[in-house]
Amino acid sequence: MSALICGSIAFDTLMSFEGRFADEILPDHVHRLNVSFLVPNLDRQFGGCAGNIAYSLNLLGGEGYAMGTVGKDFHPYQDWLDQHGISRKYVKEIEDTYCAQAYITSDADGNQFTAFHPGAMNHAHEQHVPTDDSIDLGVIAPDGKDGMVQHAKQFADAGIDFIFDPGQGLPMFDGDELKTAIDQAAYVSVNEYEAQVIGEKTGLSVAEIAARVKAFIITSGADGATIHVGGRTINVPAATPASVNDPTGCGDAFRAGLIVGLQEGYDWEITGRMATLMGTIKVEHDGTQNHALTRDEFRARFEREFERKVA
């Protein structure tokens, strides 16, 4: 059985400014801002939520496909996916567009300027959820809004359980649209801040959202996660990182652990820990697809961290 992960496939261009933005921007001239920053350090990473989740899912031996739209500059990413044995069956190239791109400049204080170009991601709605390939679980991750809405409906119409994970796409949805997506979904997975935003937009409490789905999962970074399921609350601890290098993409790695736990039929105590461990492993590495391990290594670390066994 396979998971279909609908979401962005993007390049992340990361740049470091060794000074402080605050020292370069004059407060009384922000209405005529024209500044330039020397960025001696630049790194280009493979990213996007669908790509990131598929990458971590593949590490765990999970079955699944990334589904997304890409542009004419996709070829290096294509080679990367091929190198790691990640299927491109549902990756569609849109002519005369570029892949989605995030350009992020950070200063010495950790402040960031980010420019995001959606590019081919705006064509996500041109893809359709397949009813073959034994798809038994879906993921709606941040993508073009029309694509997210359409794919959620297609999963629901096909009777395929899916995880609604709006993430950075959350601001695009109003309260009624979020209620519709929640009612269509089997699972909702968000971080603490996103859970608060959903509550404010929909007027629904955590308990009311949990009552509409099979499980409502809220991540809390270093504090682990909380799973609201069947009228009870399960507090899932995080694993202890060997180092904290880069939190970018931790939520996507978490989702991969969640998918594998669901596919393999583990209870929520185990599934939640599989998810938090994958998030911890990711935070130990820079970038979103630079962590690597075998399932045997994952199993051994799981048992060390939680004193429980997993296959």
Q: What tokens does 303 get?
A: 């048992």
| Catalytic residue from among 157, 252, 267, 296 | 252
Q: C-alpha distances in angstroms, 132 versus 128, 136, 158, 160? A: 12, 10, 11, 11
How would you list the strands of the sheet with 100-106, edge to edge? 41-47, 10-16, 100-106, 112-117
- Burial class of 265 by CB neighbour count within 10 A (0 to 12, 13 to 18, 19+): exposed
Residue 25 dihedral angles phi and psi, to the nearest 5°? -110, 120
252 is catalytic: yes
Q: Give me the active site residues, please.
A: 252
